[in-house]
Structure 1
Amino acid sequence: MIEWEDSELALKKQAELLGLNRSSLYYKPVPPDPEEILIKHRIDEIYTKTPYYGSRRMTAVLNQQGLIINRKAVQRHIREMGLQGISPAPNLSKRNHQHRVYPYLLRNLATSHPNHVWATDITYIR
């Protein structure tokens, strides 16, 4: 919207009409540092493999890989990239009142000899 050359209006007047500061007209954005880009790529690789790592573990992994960086810098990069660690949501232990509650059949039973009570575990292992 600014005409830099061959304009009837001076830059000062153009900026005034547009409601801009003249100093912002001359601003040239600074390109990101190549080292920061490298760090962000490494953080992205680690996050893709292990999305549950937080900033402390991420810092330890980066330091093991030879990048000397502190936790606050890692936090800043993670925040800028919009990443967030995956963690359990709160209140996971709350009971669902629609589910049936089964009685505990061994409450008043005294297990006095071997093979009196048996149990099993049905844990799913992927």
Structure 2
Amino acid sequence: MTEKIREIHADSGGIYGLPRVHAVLKREGVHVGRKRVERLMREDGLAGISPRRKGFTRRDPKATLAPDLVERDFTADPPNRLRVTDLTMIPTTEGPLWLSVIRDAFSRRVVARETSARADADLVLTTLEYALATREVEPAQDEVAKSAYPL
């Protein structure tokens, strides 16, 4: 029986798991219980591939974290001095839709937004270009102000 299970699993390219292997055996007229197929597959180290994904991003625990330049304070006194951004995945029937948004921390107004089918650097850079094109920043009075607020 284990040989037959191995053969079905190999013919599927290693994709079929317990439900499909059991269905193929049943279709071929082999009378065997589901629990027995499960036990034989487990003993032989056979498993199917699940189409589900557990998540998109996994942080490397050894990686150093980026510095927190705003110290978790997302408020700003003057407008157009601090912008915050977010990249969000929106599930749709046609696949994931990625939304990139940049917001002014002072007014909480969305200054730029862009969507894409892929979460890549082009999406974020396009959103940033729109945000820079729409900003209404008055010229700084001195060099200290210019260096303190590089936006």
Quickly name the TM-score band, shorter chain normalised: 0.3 to 0.5
Higher helix share: 1
TM-score by length of 1: 0.43
TM-score by length of 2: 0.37
